[in-house]
Amino acid sequence: MNHAPLAHATAHLHPTPAIRLRQVSKSWGEQVVIPGLDLDIPRGGLTALLGPSGCGKSTLLRLIAGLEHPDSGSVEIDGHDVTAAPPAQRGLSMVFQSYALFPHLSVAENIVFGLKVRSLARGEREHRLQEALRLTNLAGLEQRKPAQLSGGQRQRVALARSIVSGHSLCLMDEPLSNLDAKLRHSVRHEIRSLQQRLGMTVVYVTHDQTEALGMADTVVLLDQGRIAQQGAPAELYNQPRNTFCATFIGTPPMMLLDSSYVPAELLPHHDGSTTGGPLRIGVRPEHLLLGDVAAGRIPVILRHREFQGAEAYAYLELPDASQIIARIAHGLPALPGARLGLSWHTVHAHYFAPDSGRRLDLPHTGTADHQAQPHTTQDDFRPVAQYA
Ligand SMILES: Nc1ncnc2c1ncn2[C@@H]1O[C@H](COP(=O)(O)OP(=O)(O)OP(=O)(O)O)[C@@H](O)[C@H]1O
């Protein structure tokens, strides 16, 4: 196998990305799906292509695979221009949601099928097969037909087939979406640990942010064929570049509020200077604090509560009648209809331009005085029982 065991550890030494797209565009008839995209995918890690349905994730993966060809632009793999190359000449393997197994072939035959086509010597085939069976925990099942396997086992056969190919680049298109929730979790873990042990570069398409955030080294969040943000999962969570990223990532996602009804104490530059106009203010549901109605807090009405086990969701109506969700760690004994005061530590606030939605890096706290706002400390919040 030509998997370099140290590929992952030395990824940072490779200046050439595993995949480089330059000004790649793709339309279907009148519909522009990818409108001219530049993307570098680092070597030796798992990169998730994430985004809402129809944003172009699969199209992008198929362009990398060579299953589709761009209308313009170039695709490079390992520094080689493969824009015109067929899939078989791109040195990659693929794993699909549908497994794509041959029903009449056994597990073992399915796994080595591609190697036979490549006329690999029998001894080498057998060696790779045994290693892949071991790595995917399929030993003992090699004579079964796909119909005699569970969904998770079928997907492991597809993974084994990708491992025996010996290619260090693997493209995966929603590989877990046919599995039930519990299996998804365990196969997800298997894929990640295989990718790390073999030092493979995996490009992984998913619309499921928990999969992307939980597995990936790098997340590429797509919005209508454009890169909304690319970075480590924590970067997307903590520093969303715009309101699209802020409201796509997180369950529930970041809540957006209008500065028009937000008290001055919660706005940036509370030292008397102005913020320079209206703002969109983003706060994650776990950072929203509820207390009684008081100066410096936003008056809200509790509309609905949802039990979530360790926590609860409070659905709150804002002064402009829009609704947001707060995650309340220890339950909230206030009844629907209760009038409450909403606040947050300003260090947890994100600011966005109201027109473009672009992130604005404004100072969180204007003065020491602002930091001393008593209601921005947890202690000031009376026990929620008092609001019942
Ligand atoms: N072969 C095709 N012919 C015409 N339109 C296509 C074709 N393939 C994709 N599209 C269109 O291109 C857009 C992007 O599709 P794509 O499958 O890349 O999205 P996606 O982000 O993977 O979505 P999903 O998460 O729903 O699979 C969609 O509007 C889709 O209808």
Could you tell me the CATH number of the domain that includes residue 206? 3.40.50.300
Q: What is the pLDDT of residue 276?
A: 60
CATH of the domain at 293: 2.40.50.140
Q: What is the pLDDT of residue 387?
A: 38
pLDDT over threshold 70, residue 254: yes
Q: What is the pTM of this model?
A: 0.86
Whether residues 124 and 197 fall in one domain: yes
Whether residues 227 and 275 fall in one domain: no
Q: What is the pLDDT of residue 183?
A: 79
Q: Biggest alpha carbon distance in the chain?
A: 78
Whether residues 292 and 330 fall in one domain: yes
182-219 pLDDT, tens digit per residue, is 878 888 888 898 899 889 999 999 999 999 999 999 99
| Cα–Cα dist 238/218, whole Å | 14
| Cα–Cα dist 254/176, whole Å | 26
Locate the ligand 1 atom nearest the alpha carbon of residue 61 and give its number. 18
Whether residues 152 and 213 fall in one domain: yes
Pocket of ligand 1 from Cβ distances under 6 Å: 28, 33, 51, 53-59, 207
For residue 110, report the distance from its CA to the centre of ligand 1, in Å. 28
pLDDT over threshold 80, residue 371: no
Residue, of 44 and 364, whose pLDDT is higher:
44
For 299, the domain range is 252-360
125-156 pLDDT, tens digit per residue, is 888 899 888 888 888 999 999 999 888 888 88
Locate the ligand 1 atom nearest the alpha carbon of residue 56 and give its number. 18
For residue 204, report the distance from its CA to the centre of ligand 1, in Å. 16
Mean pLDDT of the 261-288 span: 81
For residue 25, report the distance from its CA to the centre of ligand 1, in Å. 14
Whether residues 73 and 89 fall in one domain: yes
Residue 46 near residue 214, CB atoms below 8 Å: no
Locate the ligand 1 atom nearest the alpha carbon of residue 59 and give its number. 18
95-110 pLDDT, tens digit per residue, is 887 778 888 999 999 9
303-360 pLDDT, tens digit per residue, is 999 888 888 899 999 999 999 999 987 656 688 999 999 999 999 999 999 999 999 9
Give the least confident one: 4-13, 196-205, 248-257.
4-13
Locate the ligand 1 atom nearest the alpha carbon of residue 62 and give its number. 18
Of the residues 193, 223, 247, the one at which a domain ends: 247
Of the residues 224, 247, 270, the one at which a domain ends: 247
276-308 pLDDT, tens digit per residue, is 678 999 999 999 999 899 999 999 999 999 888
Domain count within the chain: 2
Q: Alpha carbon of 28 to those of 21, 60, 173, 221, 267: distances in Å?
A: 19, 13, 20, 21, 45
Residue nearest to atom 24 of ligand 1 (CA): 53
Residue nearest to atom 7 of ligand 1 (CA): 28
Mean pLDDT of the 54-72 span: 95
**Percent of the chain predicted with pLDDT > 70:** 86
Pick the closest to residue 214 from 50, 386, 73, 32 (CA basis).
50
Q: What is the pLDDT of residue 381?
A: 42
**Percent of the chain predicted with pLDDT > 90:** 58
For residue 53, report the distance from its CA to the centre of ligand 1, in Å. 8
Pick the closest to residue 270 from 291, 296, 251, 248 (CA basis).
296
Residue nearest to atom 12 of ligand 1 (CA): 33
| Pocket-testing residue among 31, 37, 248, ligand 1, by greatest number of atoms within 8 A of Cβ | 31
